[in-house]
Amino acid sequence: MDKHDTRWTRRTVLKVAGALASTPAFGWIASTDTQGFTAPPTPISLGKSPPEPSDWQALKESLSGNLLEVQSPLEIYKADPSSTAAKTVMKNMKNPFFLEEQPGATHTTGWVGAFDSAVSPRAVAAENAADIAAAVTFARKYGLKLVVKGTGHDYLGRSSAPNSLLVWTHKMRDITVHDAFVPAGSRDAGIPAVTVAAGSRWLEAYDAVTNHAGRYVQGGGCTSVGACGGFILGSGFGALSKRFGTGAGSMLEAEVVTANGDVLIANEYQNPDLFWALRGGGGGTFGIVTKLTLMTHELPQTLGGFMGKIYAKSDAAYQKLIEEFIRFYPDHINNENWGETVKFTPDSTLELGLIFIDLPEQEARKIWQPFMEWLDAYSADYERDIEIVSVPFKDYWNMDFWLDNYPALIQQDPRTSAPKGQFWWKTNDSAVSEYMYGYQSRWIPLTNFHNPKALAKSFFDASRHWSFKLYVNKALAGAAPEAVERDRQTCINPAVFDAAAWVLMQASDTDIFPGVPGYEPDPVKAEALADRVAAGMAVIREATPGAGNYANEADYHEPDWQEAFWGMNYPRLLTIKKQYDPTDFFSTHHSVGSES
Ligand SMILES: Cc1cc2nc3c(=O)[nH]c(=O)nc-3n(C[C@H](O)[C@H](O)[C@H](O)COP(=O)(O)OP(=O)(O)OC[C@H]3O[C@@H](n4cnc5c(N)ncnc54)[C@H](O)[C@@H]3O)c2cc1C
């Protein structure tokens, strides 16, 4: 059965959230705002006697943090959709920072034929490594499924699970900037770095590193993604990865709670195998990282935007345009100065959403001149509208700068309780409470760009099904040599070093909450859009055999995922997994060892 059939077999069992058996409330457990609701189910013990109330009590008393009973914030809406509280919740479900403050919420609300976001009914709101170790030891003792959530950004729904005990790291948000960090066991002089605790978000890391210390740390573009959890553990590509490599490549040290409750330091000198596996081997797999240290880099001077649209007036003209872009790309854009996206659409438009660093605007124009001259030569076939802007790089993460100069680009957290400077990019609105119909991605090898006619045909054919984005920055052929060198020390699929770009085709909606009346997915629309993505990406997959992908931003149904995410590194990862977690205590969808 191929992937497509599998998906639709699963779709036919697409479930709406059912009421799970509830158990008596434990009055002593600090509760989230659950007044008026029945208690959620407890975590289920697998093959062992379940914990007694006195055992839960003992766990709670051992924590510096808290033990919470958890419900979805949507329960408030379900109880009385017309209430003011319900309207406030629905508004807040579009705020990524609100979602992260809820132990019972995740950013992705579900994925057709794959999962509906579920609530872990109990959570240890951890405040330190000892709390996490206590949760791990408790879950092992009583056979409870354990899941870990920092921000809940995981596309594949892996940071929560029904009937599980959640380790929620949201409250662990210390950030320390170092002038000279020396990994434990090293005799070298230190280097500039930043240590981020498990619940920190990238906006907070950038505030400390860029706004206050004038340095750069390689993280993600989305301000609310976690700086310590899944992003780095799943390699983590950001807008400047062609210059600085993946987030994992910058890792210097991690503190980890392993499956037997030990707290270990992993770096080049201590537990080096674990250190290697943590640099891209996936979140929720080798242990729970309590904090990690990332090298920081010299801050670029300028950040430019090369934005706009080129519209082709016929199919033939569009295919020619794509071919010309593919010819142009390797020598002009595929380098450490460029990042972000070019979008190919069914209405025959090339949408440029590129950034460039440390290039004067005139230089950026000059680089594009041959392409623009080509367009001029065929002016009857195309219309274009392109804008170039440049801003000081130091203001990239400064909310006030954007509010003063380009307010339409950002959304300030509107809540009066929000910390100063908390914002997200308006372009990320569509990822907040997002429901997936189809999401597939793929590296595009540089060799494909050397056959522009064939790749243009594939891109054109794919774009007839659905739009897709080509990311300059999420592949490493053409990246700065020192970044490539660092990433070669990680466990990422080495296919990344031959890939000049990464393609993402995605169909999704917001305002869908499975199990909430009035917000259920429409199965007909879901099927139609999932089919389009599957058909479009089938064309691209066929053109790029063995191209691979990385774990953070991949299809839930990625075929042959071990090979796709880790290539030749998978057997070694599996050995390390067995060494540190022989019973597969940490296991989640498409994680190392989960096939067993
Ligand atoms: C809007 C949006 C934009 C994104 N942009 C990018 C991007 O540009 N580049 C990119 O590479 N990825 C991107 N991602 C994907 C993102 O990096 C992954 O979803 C990542 O796993 C999120 O990690 P998290 O800790 O923030 O989220 P969570 O959902 O909390 O965790 C994700 C996974 O990591 C595990 N985990 C969390 N904390 C820990 C911990 N302390 N120790 C061990 N395991 C842990 C969880 O169990 C889960 O399996 C994006 C996602 C979203 C929703």
- The answer to whether 249 touches 277, Cβ cutoff 8 Å, is no
Helices (H), 378-437: 399-405
Kindly give the distance from the C-alpha atom of residue 151 to the centroid of ligand 1, in angstroms, as a whole number: 7
Query: In which residue are the tokens 């990282």 written?
Result: 289
User: What integer pLDDT is reported at residue 49 of this predicted model?
Assistant: 87
Closest protein CA for atom 11 of ligand 1: 236
* Phi, psi (degrees; rounded to nearest 5) at 582: -65, -25
User: What integer pLDDT is reported at residue 29 of this predicted model?
Assistant: 31
Query: In which residue are the tokens 């705002």 written?
Result: 33
Label residue 364 exposed, middle or buried (CB < 10 Å: 0-12, 13-18, 19+): buried
Pocket test for ligand 1, best of 101, 204, 490, 553 (most atoms within 8 A of CB): 553
For residue 288, the ligand 1 atom closest to its alpha carbon is 42
Kindly give the distance from the C-alpha atom of residue 38 to the centroid of ligand 1, in angstroms, as a whole number: 31
Kindly give the distance from the C-alpha atom of residue 122 to the centroid of ligand 1, in angstroms, as a whole number: 21
Kindly give the distance from the C-alpha atom of residue 148 to the centroid of ligand 1, in angstroms, as a whole number: 11
For residue range 92-105, list pLDDT tens digits in order: 999 999 999 999 99
Nearest Cα to 228, choosing from 148, 112, 108?
Answer: 148
Q: Could you please report the per-residue DSSP string of 488-528? A: TTS-S-GGGGGEEEEEEEEEEESS--TTSTT----HHHHHH
User: What integer pLDDT is reported at residue 41 of this predicted model?
Assistant: 58
Pocket test for ligand 1, best of 127, 174, 508, 552 (most atoms within 8 A of CB): 552
* Beta-carbon contacts of residue 400 (< 8 Å; ≥ 6 apart): 421
- Using 70 as the pLDDT threshold, list the residues of the chain that sit under it: 1-42
Which residues, in sequence order, are bridge partners of residue 391? 303
Which residues, in sequence order, are bridge partners of residue 31? 69
* Beta-carbon contacts of residue 509 (< 8 Å; ≥ 6 apart): 434, 435, 437, 521
List ligand 1's pocket residues with C-beta within 6 A.
107, 147-155, 158-159, 169, 198, 220-222, 225-226, 228-231, 233-234, 236-238, 283-284, 288-289, 428, 431, 552-553, 588
- The C-alpha atoms of residue 564 and residue 551 are separated, in whole angstroms, by 8
- The answer to whether 192 touches 223, Cβ cutoff 8 Å, is no
User: What integer pLDDT is reported at residue 210 of this predicted model?
Assistant: 98
CA atoms within 13 A on the CB side of 430: 6
Helices (H), 101-178: 129-142
Closest protein CA for atom 16 of ligand 1: 231
- The C-alpha atoms of residue 371 and residue 353 are separated, in whole angstroms, by 16
Q: Can you read off the two tokens belonging to residue 351? A: 């949408």
User: What integer pLDDT is reported at residue 6 of this predicted model?
Assistant: 32
- The C-alpha atoms of residue 167 and residue 134 are separated, in whole angstroms, by 10
Domains in the chain, CATH or no CATH each: 3-168 (no CATH), 175-299 (3.30.465.10), 301-393 (3.30.70.100)
Pocket test for ligand 1, best of 94, 119, 149 (most atoms within 8 A of CB): 149
User: What integer pLDDT is reported at residue 36 of this predicted model?
Assistant: 33
Q: Can you read off the two tokens belonging to residue 485? A: 């060198």
- The answer to whether 220 touches 226, Cβ cutoff 8 Å, is no
- The answer to whether 294 touches 208, Cβ cutoff 8 Å, is no
